[in-house]
Structure 1
Amino acid sequence: MSTLFFSGCNVIVTTSQLLSGLSRAVQKRIAHFCSHLFIDEAHHAEAKTWRNFRENFEDKLVLQFTATPFREDGQKLDGKFIYIYSLKAAQEENYFKPIRFHPISEFNSKTGDIEIAKAALKALDEDRTGRHIVMARVDSKARAEEIFKLYQELGKGRHEAIVIHSGMRASTIRIEKQKLFDGDAKIVVCVDMLGEGFDLPELKIAAFHDIRKSLSVTLQLAGRFTRSRPDLGDALFITNIALIEVRDELQQLYSRDPDWNELLPALSGAAIEDEVATQKFFKGFARFLDQVPLKDLRPAASMVVYRTDCGKWKPENFRKGFRRRSSRDKLFHTINRDENTLVVLAATEDTVRWSDVESIRETNWELLIAIWDSTLELLYIHGSGINGEYREFAKAICGKEVKLIVAPEVFRSFDGVKRLVMNNVGLEEHLGRQVRYTGRMGSDVEAKIGQDARRTAKRAVLAGTGYQDGARVTVGAAKRGRVWSTLRLRIDSFSQ
């Protein structure tokens, strides 16, 4: 039946929700009859349903379209960038209307909601086109009902409000949405921006009672309100800037007097440039394990650093750094020669601690990343294990004349960190031949260290938080050479 149906089709239009209800066999039949796969809103294409379906098109042409080729979870989109149409170009060519920003500054959240609603209702009253619609965005169903009642109360007799969220029946949602299309309702309170791909150019007033904290969602939200049509005015964004907690890249958008028409294209362009650079970085590697995509690895931000004197490194010699390797052990590697980056995945077998039976063994996986800075002649090594300094590994790829950077130089990693507050301080005090180690952990522990200890003790471990280039950072360093931060990074971030 499926063969008969699909063989008679020139174009098949579907959604991920419909595909998820089809068997793998039917999905394969669809792919068999299709020469191309076009995916809109491709930032969702890494979701399991789309990914499984796309695998059926490995020998076909797949084109993906998205305004935001980056995801909140940091996952990379598969595929090659072949065309980029910038948000700035869309503005200059009048596909997008300008954005006006109306900030409210209220430290009481309830008062802030009232002021946002009043500003939105005033904008409706002053709308000369008579067509504009308010979307009041919140972050939960409970908040949606609360804010809906607020608009009902404040807009009574002037503008009808509706509420839409996932707790409502599908039939009820369709009826409420139709009120918007017919112009009967001028205010919609919602949680998820009315769903993916919702098209209503009359949405021109955005009342943000709760803020979405990521750039990708902010850009998608902006796109809902800036669509150009001759009979409609400019977009207006309203929010309470006094109680905002957003990611660093959005701080400027929600400042006292921002120009969204300048900032949003700049943020979008920078994010897309970063994605293009990331894609180029990963394509520079030789083939690796298909089951372990490099772009999906998130190692902890920690490393040791070696001074080298080799003139040219030899990453292909890394196996010499695994001297105790047995026939059971496996080493997988890939090299990006343009970026001087080596990635090694080591699988080593060992006996278990709870038994002497030789046949009972466990496999330990360790990720190693080596980056050689040819200008500074420094070798940076990250290891996911706890083996420490990786001296033999460093000698294998950069020669015998390698020197681990340890205390006191290792503590230079705190250079440039402003307003540094220590939350972990380890000190060593020499009492004759004995060495006493004292560790302090907590908020601002440095202030609690006495003058005697400051004069006589040596730094063993330092870790804290501060600001670098205006962004909040965490930094730690130990006297034996390890430097770390409380982050998990993509491999390309290690080379930056």
Structure 2
Amino acid sequence: MGYFQDNYEKIQFTKGLVNNNGLRNAQLGAIHALGSYFTLDKNKAAIVVMPTGSGKTAVLMMTPYLLCAKKVLVVTPSKMVRGQIYEEFCELKTLINANALPVLIHKPNVFEMNHLYSDEENKKYNEADVIVATPQCALSLVENKAESEKFDCVLIDEAHHTPAASWTRILELTQKVNQVLFTATPFRMDSREIKGEVIYRYPLKLAYRDGIFGEIMYIPISASAEKDLRIAYKAEEILMQDREKGYEHFLMVRTNTKEKAKDLEKLYAEKTTLRLKRIDSSMSNNTVKKCIEALKNKELDGIICVDMLGEGFDFPNLKIAAIHEVHKSLANMLQFIGRFARTNASNIGTAKFITINDEELLIENRRLYGTDAVWQDIIIDISDGKVDEEIESKEYIASYHKRDKSASDVENFSLYNIRPGCHAKIYRVNDFNISSSFPNGCGITEPPYVNTEDNTIVGIGKKLVPPKWLASNEINDVEHLLYIVHYQVKTGLLFILSQIKTETLYDEIASAFSSGYEKIPKSNMHRVLAELKNFEIFNSGMANRFSESGESYRISAGSDTSQAINESTGKMYSAGHAFCKAMKDGNEITIGYSSASKMWSSGYALLNEYIKWCDYNGEKIANDEINVKTNTNFDFLPIPRKLISYPQNLFFANFSSETYLMSPLLYYKEEKEPIGNLIDSDIKIINIIESEIKVAISIGNIEETYVCDIEGHYEADTSSKLTVSLHNERVELDKYFCSYPLQYKATDDTVIDGAEILFGNTEVITYDSSNIVAIDWINKYGTDVTIWSIVNSLDTICNEKIG
């Protein structure tokens, strides 16, 4: 039997009370959760989430005893942490002090792996119960199959590093053994997945309640040209004040480059009385250790570093942070703050963070460096909220299953890693059949992922496209395409995300998953702007209802395009598309919609967040009681309604605004040379009934007729011979019109655009007779009207001659 098996019975789960040492609540919860998890037949790594300073190392060290491990590999993020854990396993002080192990327990054989794998040290590898290594060394060890098979337990410290290549490879090579990942922040700046199942999570708010996470304070400095000097002076002032109060506090100066660290070292030496030393990754481990010893021996007031002494560094007296350059990653910032919020020392007080006040700085859409930032509440709420989001996302992804268990073409593909852009085409459907398949046009090459609980299906398609630099089709690149179809039961709405944004394909997808569908009118789409505040509309469109030539659609872009709209504009134009910035629950968002039943945002989201986004807006779209007010001049523009039937007084047809902006070339049959631009052709209305309108498109001696229903769907009367070039492809003209519908106008200025109708108002262009004032030109002003009479007579003679 191995060391940990022999000593399993000696481990105690003593709870720490006022009168005796023991394990904290977080440690007890984590170790019992691990014991429970590994009684089941699991093939996933266990993830333990505990705040910095809550005792992750103790839980990590107890795990081999609990699992009766034979041989353990511990992977740490840095040489410093490697050395700390090596010493912990050698001495077991932490577990003995917590009454988790007896004082006289025999210690394990621990090997600190300082170099890459070498046959010369084979004996040390074999004799060790625990090997502690950084990722590079650990990987060189487990790549040796004989050595890898000796381990039955792998423990990862600071597991948010695991998506990195070396960490991932270690877990892949040891996937058949028990794996436990420990971290305070189970999320990454690059949004990559930390693979495994979160089996225990101790919230930061409980760590604060239990006194594990201490008081923190943000001290803002007004921005100025001498910001570094002002931060240095304030850091010195705060440190001296704390020491006068009896606190044994020390300072860390944080920046982002080695060059800046050198400049700050000189600045603090010349302008303050503080004794500081600079450390960075270019220095030897021995040099860094000596610096840390000097700090702990109170020979220094602090250190200057670049992302050093972060993960795993335990010195609770480090309480003042002079932040000359802030972290741009929320995960890194939370890790950093956690180091200063430790409470496991005497004579320490509130942790203080000194930096420049920057109201405009957003970290993952969160404003943290404002003058009114109350960090104690903000940091706890953000940390717990971010962890909640991560766990929720993992649980949501786990609710999907692949329709067919066959191997994926995409190695190690996970739905967690997709980040769909927030864009959706929306239909109202009769029903939803999640068992259906995507149409052939999607190019789905492998079985889709299905979530029957949430009525969502995700497909990955392939499309062969020639490189832009190649004029022929001899070589094709493979483009992977994402499709998401989600049905909201409550509203009967179907949301489709497709990277091929053609109306024909959207309609085919909707038809594949439902027995009947209809598009959403703009009056309903407009409701996505409801429940929002502080609008800035920076891209919008207006349709001119009265112009039969010239401008038919006006697009405006700028910081706030609504300022160019007034009551008169609203009488002449109707609302087109809109894209704006607004506030929702105190957070800044973007949202846009168009007449094509589409909505979008500028952001990208996790899959569960995307579905929430669809559902939230779907409920607004379906709510007939919603009254939208943006409190901007955009409210002056009338909103079109859904087309119910075609009016008989339609007399004029025009191409869409998109067609005029970028007119495609028009082709006949399979001919290679175009016969002209689409806007060169003529449009003629042939017939109108309530449910459809027939039009003719002609150019030269070529003419074809098309029928459009009240959903804005076009079909050629016979097989379409006219095609246009669209996205490097030849598309039949009727399919083109489905994406870019013709616009129809009636004699009463009613306008039909696709499946929408905007009723005209003939009073808008009628002169008010009370505003007409008659002038007596002859008697009052003596005007010679015979000149007008002569012109009038000549006009008449000319017309008669021409006739």
Counterparts of 2:344 and 2:479 in 1: how far apart (Å)? 60
Partner in structure 1 of residue 495 of structure 2: 380
CA deviation vs aligned residue, 1:288-314 (integer Å, no higher than 9, x gap) = 73622111111211111111222xx21
CA deviation vs aligned residue, 1:209-243 (integer Å, no higher than 9, x gap) = 33224432232112211222342312321324532
The residue matched to 1:339 in structure 2 has which SS?
coil
Partner in structure 2 of residue 482 of structure 1: 598
Residues paired across the two proteins, number: 482
Partner in structure 2 of residue 181 of structure 1: 296
> Does the 8 Å CA contact 2:317/2:348 hold for their aligned counterparts?
no
Letter of the aligned partner of 2:548 in structure 1?
G
- The reply to whether residue 309 of structure 1 matches residue 424 of structure 2 is no
Partner in structure 1 of residue 687 of structure 2: none
Distance 1:295 1:115, change over 3 A: closer
> Does the 8 Å CA contact 2:449/2:458 hold for their aligned counterparts?
yes
Once the two structures are TM-superposed, the CA of residue 406 in structure 1 deviates from its matched residue by 3.6
The residue matched to 2:201 in structure 1 has which SS?
coil
The residue matched to 1:199 in structure 2 has which SS?
coil
**If you compute each CA radius of gyration, which structure gives the higher value, 1 or 2?**
2
Once the two structures are TM-superposed, the CA of residue 68 in structure 1 deviates from its matched residue by 0.9
Relative to the length of structure 2, the TM-score reads 0.55
Superposition pairs for residues 199-218 of structure 1, below 5 Å? 199-218=314-333
Distance 1:3 1:404, change over 3 A: farther
Partner in structure 1 of residue 710 of structure 2: none
Counterparts of 1:325 and 1:181 in 2: how far apart (Å)? 63
The residue matched to 2:130 in structure 1 has which SS?
coil
- The reply to whether residue 339 of structure 1 matches residue 430 of structure 2 is no
CA deviation vs aligned residue, 1:272-292 (integer Å, no higher than 9, x gap) = 221221111000111373622
Distance 1:274 1:80, change over 3 A: same
The residue matched to 1:295 in structure 2 has which SS?
helix
Partner in structure 2 of residue 438 of structure 1: 554
The residue matched to 1:408 in structure 2 has which SS?
helix
Comparing 243-252 with 273-282, which one deviates more in the overlay? 243-252
Counterparts of 1:243 and 1:273 in 2: how far apart (Å)? 27
Higher RCO (CA < 8 A, seq sep 6+): 1
Q: Name stretches of at least 5 consecutive residues in structure 2 with no aligned partner.
A: 1-118, 613-803
CA RMSD of aligned residues (A): 3.0
2:260 to 128, 143, 147: 143
Superposition pairs for residues 38-437 of structure 1, below 5 Å? 38-99=155-216, 101-111=217-227, 113-115=229-231, 117-127=233-243, 128-129=245-246, 131-156=248-273, 159-166=274-281, 168=283, 172-240=287-355, 242-244=357-359, 245-247=361-363, 250-251=366-367, 254-256=370-372, 258=374, 260=376, 262-287=377-402, 289=408, 291=411, 292-310=413-431, 313-319=432-438, 321-322=439-440, 330-349=445-464, 363-388=478-503, 390-400=506-516, 402-430=517-545, 431-432=547-548, 436-437=552-553
The residue matched to 1:256 in structure 2 has which SS?
coil
Distance 1:437 1:241, change over 3 A: same
Once the two structures are TM-superposed, the CA of residue 5 in structure 1 deviates from its matched residue by 4.9
Letter of the aligned partner of 1:37 in structure 2?
V
Relative to the length of structure 1, the TM-score reads 0.87
Once the two structures are TM-superposed, the CA of residue 201 in structure 1 deviates from its matched residue by 2.2
- The reply to whether residue 15 of structure 1 matches residue 134 of structure 2 is yes
Distance 1:315 1:281, change over 3 A: same
Distance 1:112 1:383, change over 3 A: same
> Does the 8 Å CA contact 1:461/1:478 hold for their aligned counterparts?
yes
Counterparts of 1:246 and 1:467 in 2: how far apart (Å)? 15
CA deviation vs aligned residue, 1:302-361 (integer Å, no higher than 9, x gap) = 111111222xx2111133x33x588xx62430101122211011224578896676x765
The residue matched to 1:89 in structure 2 has which SS?
helix
Distance 1:131 1:239, change over 3 A: closer
Counterparts of 1:248 and 1:23 in 2: how far apart (Å)? 38
Counterparts of 2:324 and 2:342 in 1: how far apart (Å)? 22
CA deviation vs aligned residue, 1:343-388 (integer Å, no higher than 9, x gap) = 011224578896676x765544321111111111111111122224
Q: Percent identity?
A: 23
The residue matched to 1:380 in structure 2 has which SS?
strand
Counterparts of 1:30 and 1:255 in 2: how far apart (Å)? 55
Counterparts of 2:265 and 2:486 in 1: how far apart (Å)? 55
Comparing 190-199 with 335-344, which one deviates more in the overlay? 190-199
Once the two structures are TM-superposed, the CA of residue 256 in structure 1 deviates from its matched residue by 2.2
Counterparts of 1:480 and 1:305 in 2: how far apart (Å)? 9
> Does the 8 Å CA contact 1:201/1:227 hold for their aligned counterparts?
yes
> Does the 8 Å CA contact 2:247/2:348 hold for their aligned counterparts?
no
The residue matched to 1:12 in structure 2 has which SS?
strand
Letter of the aligned partner of 1:439 in structure 2?
I
Counterparts of 2:250 and 2:297 in 1: how far apart (Å)? 11
The residue matched to 2:309 in structure 1 has which SS?
coil
The residue matched to 1:206 in structure 2 has which SS?
strand
Q: Name stretches of at least 5 consecutive residues in structure 1 with no aligned partner.
A: none
